[in-house]
A and B are shown apart, each in its own frame.
Chain A
Amino acid sequence: MTQAFRIENEGLINRDKKLSFKFNGKTYLGYEGDTLASALLANGVHLVGRSFKYHRPRGFFGAGVDEPYAVVQLYRNGETEPNIKATEQELFEGLEAKSVNCWPSVNFDIGAINNFLKIFLPAGFYYKTFMWPKSFWYRIYEPFIRKAAGLGVASTKHDNERYEHKYEHCDLLIAGSGPSGLAGAYAAAKNGAKVILAEDKPRFGGSLLTSDVNIGNQSGKDWAEGIIAELKTMPNVVVKNRSQIFGYYDHNMLVMSEKVSDHLPSTKKYHPNKRLWYIRAKEVLISSGSIERPIVFGNNDTPGVMLSSAAKEYLKVYGVLVGRKPLVFTNNDSGYETAIEFKKHGVDPVVLDTRKNPESEIIDEAKNLGINIKNSYVVVAAQGYKKVKSADIASISEDKKQLGKIENIQCDCICVSGFWTPTIHLASQSGNKTKFKEGIDAFVPGQSKQNEITLGAANGVFSLDETLKTSFKAGSELSKKITENDNEIAIPNVVEKKSSQYDKFWCVPLPKGKNYKRFLDFQNDVAVSDVEIALREGYRSIEHVKRYTTLGMATDQGKTSNLNGLQLVSEIENKVVPAVGHTTFRPPYTPVSIGAIVGREVGKHSKPTRKSPMHSWHEKNNAVFVDAGIWLRPRYYKRGNENLFEGSKREAKNVRTNVGVCDVTTLGKIDIKGPDAAELLNRVYTNAWLKLPVGKARYGVMLREDGIVMDDGTTTRISENHYHMTTTTAQAANVLSHLEYYLQLVWPELNVNVVSTTEQWAGAAIAGPKSRDLLKKLFPNSDVSNEGLPFMGYIEGDLFGVKARIYRISFSGELAYEVNVESDYGNFMWEKIMEVGEEFNIQPYGTEALSTLRIEMGHVAGSELDGRTIPFDNALEGLVSKKKDFIGKRSLQRSAFIAEDRQRIVGVVPLDKQTSIPEGSHLVKDDKAPLPNPKLGHISASCWSVEYDNPFSLAILKDGKNMIGQKLFAMSPLKNKVIPVEIVSSHYVDPKGERVRS
């Protein structure tokens, strides 16, 4: 198909490079440098989608980020992405896109029936109708809305693209490369400031690309090119196109999304798809320009109705005519600029100006070109369904209330200009108190909160001369403060045509007997009548009106709808616009890919993975791994076809009968040194620490100030002023912070130093009745007899030439030791233990066997120390000193903590000795009681007791102390299980603790 609407000798596209693309299955041609929108328009395609609510036909309304309609589903390199604006998507060879919101096709859309039913879909319709009956919601309403709504389909496949994050600091960040951005950047760069200049479009220059102005002796466009070329050569300047600054956060942190690869058929090797920049700027210069405002009239959403600035951009940048019989509808001089461009390219426009008798250089030029101008005229309604075919126009009275006789004129597009709205999103996000500017009837930035200044059109200044002067000055002054350089810059002469005052006219009244839809929000289908209903129903706050009608809530965030909505509310409410106020601008300014926000932190990179020094041995020996916090730990070592249950049972059994070895490197380790170390421990732990001799370990429990158990572990006195503390794997970081808190803030007088040594030591727990025999062979030069190394003793040994620390401590309840060596020797230690242990039938055991062993011994762990239990609950009250004070002691006097029927740890055995009890099951007295069945306690941990060969669980049970011997039910609605159980002691195996001392 030929590009029938492309004109010669105009535009910035590369005509030497033709690109082929598909839209809704049909193949078209465009040029390099096109957007999907400009290429479709070049081919005369105006129908691109259906609207959100009424499924009315949708065309193109803008030419950039403000586009409310032309949202498509994009297919690129085997991936698909929804919510892509055709006006922003650059064309590449092989691009494919489809319309959204239509079924079965954009030309014949069943949902369009909503359009005829629109009487039933007014403001608040969803709130009112779908509220009742509740049971209808999931079955009928929700699926219906899901099918009807949405702007495309998210892919369910894994995203193969890469995204990266970048952190950057700069002196001056400049948002937008229009005249003010270029001038500000240039002046600051010349003063040696570190400058980042960001432009969301592929081309730099902003309005200079399309306006008929001269700067110095050059056209505006050539001047912009020269400045950019010079900035790019400067080492202190970063110039970025395709980069949208979408959020302004606290303390001058701005976030920018750079589209690195979206304009290419596929992402280059080693390149990311997008790059998210976190930029901390000393000063921010906002030069985000302005967006043209629509004028509201009947059927103003018909394809072919678009902003006049967009029509001009398609012509000047892309060499595309959006129509051959254009009607320009304007209340200011901007519409004339578009009309002049049409005329210069041999197309005869008709201009309808709401003003009676405006005079300016621009209007004179239009008149001199012989353009047909009708003053005091308005478009009453667009006619045509899938494309504008004609317009009903009429003269309008001076008070703008009475329409004259309605005439119909032929046209194929209506270019609308309702003046300009400064883009104040970034300024507003920064906390700037915006103010309403009379004369342009729009909000502009006011009092700055952060180091930010807004210039040019974004600040409501529409004269190029003034914009350049203020921007050069601001760039110089802001950079001078930072670099102390003051290089003078000659401000170039500007030639621009003067404009006349715009007419504060924004909405055409309805003619008698007509009920045209007049849309305010094009993306969300919010019409004038919807806002009227909301106000009639009593909504007053603009924030409430927004949510009730969905005005300004779609992905375009009301870029074109905002001010007209406010005008309407102010008119009905008889308030001035500033009194109505505007809704809050929130980041992001435009939709940002979730992938870009997530960056590289996906899949296994979503958190760091810690591996012990023995990890490769575990891998080689068929370990099945489990996540333990950020560590990977062997869960069990699979033999043959064993499953987890069989494998862990074998491993646990072997510990009870022979000897096993477990990698305990992951335990938190904290080195504590200083003359007051014992005093610190005495205050942190609930038991007494002042008399622990050198070479001895002690088990300790620490509380939070509210009396809840924080962590437990053993601490060993290595030498006079040196202790080695262990924590649970999960709490290691918290315990260190806890100690630092008390040492730095509460008891700074204590002379103690703490430091984490978790990664410095590799640890192996050797447990089982044969563990001493093994130890003797590992450390032939050390006395490891029961007398030489008694329970809770500590010695240093020599492991085949490697210095080792040997602790006689036990988590499994068996005779057990823990050997630590420096991490780099971890694998050596492990291999030696396995080699020497062979004759004692040693087997490695994983976390599952470790759990089994501790559960049947009634040793508590994270599932009991769950942030809700005190020492008594865990049968640890014997470790609570009555004599000394410690962290959290005072809280233990709270009445609930000393209640007679206080919860306490118990053992639980199923009556049938067969059925495993799911963890989390509730213990109840009566399994048939009506719901909610009073809960007496919960199962905290379950295992298969290898000692008794039946299931065994631990539970935290109300009045647990007096419940031993009782019969209860363990109920797990999740697993649909009701299990009759008996309550027993939590010390199921070796209740006297003889084995550990043997």
Chain B
Amino acid sequence: MLYINCPHCGMRSQNEFSYGGDASVKRPELNKEVSDQEWDNFVYNRKSLRGKHLELWQHISGCRQWIKVERDTVTHEIFRTFKADEEVA
């Protein structure tokens, strides 16, 4: 079970969180022309990275905030966590 540092609450066990997928995906802006390819990339196409991956988790049994977690998909090591509005450098 992963041990995730919620930037709002501190270290919490994985069973308090739910997984939310790739955090690098950006939703196309509303009311903008979007090509089929762009839209497909947004809705369906994911890289399924091996290694360092920036992903979303929601602290559903805690503060209910969506957070960003930088995690290695092979070793499960968690490097850093960010608030939803924090820029990831």
Measured CB to CB, the residues of A under 8 A from B are: 167, 249-253, 278, 280, 431, 449, 683, 705-706, 737, 740-741, 744-746, 748, 884-885, 890-891
Contact = CB atoms under 8 A, between A and B. Distances in A.
A278 B31 contact: no
A683 B13 CA distance: 34
Contacts of B46: none
Interface string B2-28: 110000000001000010100000011
B66 A744 contact: yes
B37 interface: no
Contact of A251 (B28, B31, B56, B76): B76
B1 interface: yes
Interface residues of B, number: 26
Contacts of A746: 27
A251 B2 contact: yes
Given A251-B76, A737-B18, A744-B66, 14 more contacts: A250-B1, A251-B1, A251-B78, A253-B1, A253-B13, A278-B1, A449-B75, A737-B60, A740-B64, A744-B84, A885-B30, A890-B34, A890-B39, A891-B39
Nearest to B60: A737
A741 B58 contact: yes
A891 B76 contact: no
9 contacts: A167-B13, A251-B78, A431-B75, A705-B42, A740-B64, A741-B20, A741-B58, A890-B34, A890-B39
Interface string B47-89: 0000000001010100011100000000110100000110000
B57 to A, nearest CB: 11
Contacts of A706: 43-44
Contacts, number: 53
A250 B44 CA distance: 29
Contacts of B76: 250-251
Contacts of B30: 683, 885
Main secondary structure of the interface of B (DSSP, over half): loop
Nearest to A886: B30
Interface of B: 1-3, 13, 18, 20, 27-28, 30-31, 34, 39, 42-44, 56, 58, 60, 64-66, 75-76, 78, 84-85
Contacts of B28: 890
A934 to B, nearest CB: 28
5 cross-chain pairs, A with B, having the tightest CB-CB distances, nearest first? A251-B3, A885-B30, A744-B84, A885-B31, A744-B66
Nearest to B11: A280
A252 B14 CA distance: 13
B34 A280 contact: no
Contacts of A449: 75
Contacts of B2: 250-251
Contact of B84 (A252, A253, A745, A891): A745
Interface centre among A705, A890, A891 (most CB of B within 10 A): A890
Nearest to B30: A885
A745 B57 CA distance: 11
A748 B84 contact: yes
A740 B84 CA distance: 11
Contacts of A280: 3, 13
Contacts of B85: 744, 748
Nearest to B58: A737
B3 A741 contact: no
A167 B20 CA distance: 26
A741 B84 CA distance: 10
A998 B56 CA distance: 49
A278 B84 CA distance: 30
Contacts of A740: 58, 64, 66
Nearest to A884: B31
A745 B75 contact: no
A591 to B, nearest CB: 21
A250 B71 CA distance: 12
A251 to B, nearest CB: 4
Contacts of B60: 737
Nearest to A737: B58
A745 B43 contact: no
Contacts of A748: 84-85
A174 B46 CA distance: 42
A741 B66 contact: yes
Contacts of B39: 890-891
Contacts of A167: 13
A252 B27 contact: no
Nearest to A733: B60
B43 A891 contact: yes
Nearest to A706: B43
B67 to A, nearest CB: 9
A706 B13 CA distance: 31
Contacts of B3: 250-253, 280
Nearest to B44: A706
A737 B85 CA distance: 17
A745 B23 CA distance: 9
A680 to B, nearest CB: 12
Contacts of A253: 1, 3, 13
A705 B43 contact: yes
Contacts of A890: 28, 34, 39
A267 to B, nearest CB: 28
Contacts of A252: 3
A723 to B, nearest CB: 19
A432 to B, nearest CB: 12
B16 to A, nearest CB: 12
Interface centre among B20, B43, B44 (most CB of A within 10 A): B43
Given A705-B43, A890-B34, A745 B1 contact: no
A705 B42 CA distance: 9
A449 B30 CA distance: 45
A250 B39 CA distance: 36
A737 B17 CA distance: 12
A105 B35 CA distance: 75
A753 to B, nearest CB: 11
Contacts of B44: 706
Interface centre among B1, B42, B78 (most CB of A within 10 A): B1
A670 to B, nearest CB: 12
Contacts of B66: 740-741, 744-745
Nearest to A742: B27
A891 B27 CA distance: 13
Nearest to B27: A746
Nearest to A252: B3
Given A280-B13, A705-B42, A249 B1 contact: yes
A186 B56 CA distance: 42
B64 A745 contact: no
A124 to B, nearest CB: 33
B38 to A, nearest CB: 9
A718 B19 CA distance: 34
Contacts of A884: 31
Interface centre among A431, A449, A744, A746 (most CB of B within 10 A): A744
Contacts of B75: 431, 449
A431 B72 CA distance: 14
Given A250-B2, A885-B31, A744 B13 contact: no
A705 B76 CA distance: 29
A830 B60 CA distance: 33
A744 B27 CA distance: 13
Contacts of A745: 56, 66, 84
Interface centre among A249, A250, A449, A745 (most CB of B within 10 A): A745
Contacts of B64: 740
B12 to A, nearest CB: 10
Nearest to B76: A250
A531 to B, nearest CB: 32
A706 B28 CA distance: 13
Contacts of A885: 30-31
Interface centre among A251, A705, A737 (most CB of B within 10 A): A251
B14 to A, nearest CB: 8
Contacts of B34: 890
A278 B31 CA distance: 50
A107 B68 CA distance: 64
A885 B30 CA distance: 6
